[in-house]
A and B are shown apart, each in its own frame.
Chain A
Amino acid sequence: GAVVSQHPSWVICKSGTSVKIECRSLDFQATTMFWYRQFPKQSLMLMATSNEGSKATYEQGVEKDKFLINHASLTLSTLTVTSAHPEDSSFYICSAIETSGRAGYEQYFGPGTRLTVT
């Protein structure tokens, strides 16, 4: 089956620093990847759609200058949280759609990255 990995699985950083999270599709190519944020006991909130070779499309209310997304290849998207603050502490999850279309609309989810900002 299609596998998506994320790195790191958890990270603790100090307020004001930046953190980069990687999302990789291990056995398929993904033109489109998605980034979600999930606070404790809440739903997944879509932050942005990441398209290989082009700028990400951000959802309303998500600061594009704070959450930098780069999708430089068909297997890698990165999310950088710039100048992180305690309120950015959350569970960040990525997902990917297989470019070939074999899986239709199914999104494959990464295991998530737990970010704690102190």
Chain B
Amino acid sequence: GENVEQHPSTLSVQEGDSAVIKCTYSDSASNYFPWYKQELGKRPQLIIDIRSNVGEKKDQRIAVTLNKTAKHFSLHITETQPEDSAVYFCAPRVGGYNKLIFGAGTRLAVHP
């Protein structure tokens, strides 16, 4: 089955710094790569996603880069703010199916 690894598991940054989270997957047929933000007790919230025919996508302070050859994609958050503090999950789509397999999560803490 699909194997998904996410690093780091925790990340602590100062407000204004950048944060990068990396996700490695095993299924070469994966073609959809979303990142979710989850606050305590809430549902996962899609913050950005990318398809396999695109290498990079940006939305204001958030960007995602994809390297299909190496089978990894990364979340980049610039100018971090305290409200960015949450748990972030990558969840690549399993090729040929609609299901997503979630990484273990990264707990991001942004300190004022």
Contacts and interface: CB of A to CB of B under 8 A. Distances in A.
Grouping DSSP codes into helix (H, G, I), strand (E, B) and loop, the B interface class, with mixed when no group exceeds half, is loop
Given A43-B89, A43-B104, A109 B44 contact: yes
Contact of A43 (B32, B45, B97, B103): B103
Contacts of B99: 34, 46, 49
Interface residues of A, number: 22
A100 interface: no
A61 B80 CA distance: 39
Interface residues of B, number: 24
Interface string A29-45: 00010101000001111
A103 B101 CA distance: 19
B61 interface: no
Nearest to B33: A105
Nearest to B43: A109
Identify the 9 closest CB pairs spanning chains A and B, nearest first.
A105-B32, A109-B43, A44-B102, A43-B102, A43-B105, A111-B43, A43-B104, A109-B44, A105-B93
Interface of A: 32, 34, 36, 42-46, 49, 60, 91, 93, 97, 104-107, 109-112, 114
